[in-house]
Amino acid sequence: MSLAAPSWWRLEMAAPPELEDSLIWKLGMLGISRVAVRHSPADPHQPLLLAWLPAIDWPEAERLELAAALAPLADTFRLPLPELAWFPQQEEDWSSSWKQHWQADPVGLRLLILPAWLDQPPEHEGRLVIRMDPGSAFGTGSHPTTRLCLEALEQLADAPGGIPSRVADLGCGSGILGIAALLLGASSVAAVDTDSLAVRATADNVALAGLAPRLQVRQGSVEALAELLDGCPADLLLCNILAPVIEALAPAFDTVLAPTGVGLLSGLLVAQAPKLAQILAALGWRAELVAQQSQWGLMMLHKAR
Ligand SMILES: C[S@@+](CC[C@H](N)C(=O)[O-])C[C@H]1O[C@@H](n2cnc3c(N)ncnc32)[C@H](O)[C@@H]1O
C-alpha cells in the first residue's frame, strides 16, 4: 500500500498574546490566509495558531524559510520564535477545519465579535455584534491592543455626551474599530490603511455589517485620511499602530483630529508611553496612559490647554 502525498500541511505553533496578531498578519502577507487561533479552555493564555498550506506550494525548503520570515516578529519582543510543527493532511474540507476554531468573542460589556458564519449565541443576546471575516487582515479582536481600543470606545459611548460623532481610523486593519464606533453611536468613519488587503477587508466587513454608507475607506496614511475628512478634522481619532509609527505620524495629527476632539492611541508598549507622551507634548497634545493589558498600553489624547 502506498501512502498518498499530503495535499495540505497543517502548521501548528504557540501564539503568545504579544505575537498572535502579528503572526496572522505576516502569514496573510505571505499568502497564507487559512489561519485559525485555538484557545484551549484549560489554558486560555496559551493560544495555538493553526494554518493550512497547500503542499504543492510549500515544499520543505519553503517551509524552512517560513520560520526565518517569522523570526523578526518575535525579535521585536525579545521572545524566541515558538517552534513550527508541520502535520501532513489529506484533502478534506480544510475550510471547515479552519472555521471551527473561531468562536463568538465577547469584549467589554456590550460588544461581541462574531465570525461571519456564526449566529449570535443566546448567552450573548443583547450585545452589539461586530461581524468579522477573520483571516483577512489584522484586527480579529484577539490582540490586546484591539481589545483595549474596543473597551475604551465602549467607555466613551457610556460617558455623558456619548461617543464622538465623526471618527477617523488611522491604520484600520480589518475595520473593527470603526465598525465598533458606528455600532456604539458614531455617525461616520473615515478609515485608511497603507495595506491594500486591509482596505479590502475593511470594505468587506463594513458591508457585512450593513454600515457601508457610513464608513469610507481608502488606501494610504494620515495624508489620505486628511483628504477623506475634507478639511474638517474628526472628533475622535483611533490609531492602533506601533509606537515608532505613531511618533512619525503625530506631527500630522492636527490635520485629522479637531482641537476639541479625543484620540485613542494603542499599539504601544507601556514602557514606550512616557517617551511618546513627551513627543506629543512638544506637538501641543496631552497624552495619558489610561489602560493596559499585559505590556500593551492605551493612551488618551487631548489638545494641551
Ligand atoms: C496593529 S494593526 C491595527 C488594526 C486595527 N485598527 C485594530 O485595532 O485591530 C495596524 C494597522 O496599521 C496599518 N499601518 C501601519 N503603518 C501605517 C501607516 N503609516 N499609516 C496607515 N496605516 C498603517 C497596518 O497595515 C495595520 O493594518
Whether ligand 1 lies within 6 angstroms of the CB of 157 is answered as no
Ligand 1 midpoint to CA 172 (Å): 6
- 105-303 belongs to which CATH class? alpha beta
Inter-residue contact 143 to 216 (CB < 8 Å): no
Q: What ranges do the domains of the chain cover?
A: 8-99, 105-303
Name the region of 225 (left: φ>0; alpha: ψ -120 to 50; beta: rest): alpha
According to the model, what pLDDT value does residue 18 have?
80
Give the global pTM.
0.77
Domain 8-99 is found in CATH 3.30.70.260: yes
Which of 195, 196, 293 has most ligand 1 atoms within 8 Å of CB, for mutation? 195
Given a cut of 70, the residues of the chain with pLDDT beneath it are 1-6, 39-44, 91-102, 134-142
d(CA 227, CA 221): 10
According to the model, what pLDDT value does residue 21 have?
78
Whether ligand 1 lies within 6 angstroms of the CB of 194 is answered as yes
Inter-residue contact 181 to 167 (CB < 8 Å): yes
Residue with cell 473615515: 190
Give the residue, by CA position, lying nearest to ligand 1 atom 25: 195
Give the residue, by CA position, lying nearest to ligand 1 atom 20: 221
According to the model, what pLDDT value does residue 189 have?
98
Report which DSSP code applies to 232: -
Q: Which residues pair with 269 in a beta bridge?
A: 296
According to the model, what pLDDT value does residue 201 have?
83
According to the model, what pLDDT value does residue 210 have?
94
Is it true that 8-99 and 105-303 share their CATH fold? no
According to the model, what pLDDT value does residue 31 have?
72
Task: Work out the angle at residue 125's Cα, subtended by the Cα atoms of residues 119 and 131, and round it to the nearest 5 degrees.
Answer: 45
Give the residue, by CA position, lying nearest to ligand 1 atom 8: 146
b/e map 219-255, b = 16+ CB within 10 Å:
eebbebbbebbeeebbbbbbbbbbbebbbebbebbee
d(CA 52, CA 194): 26
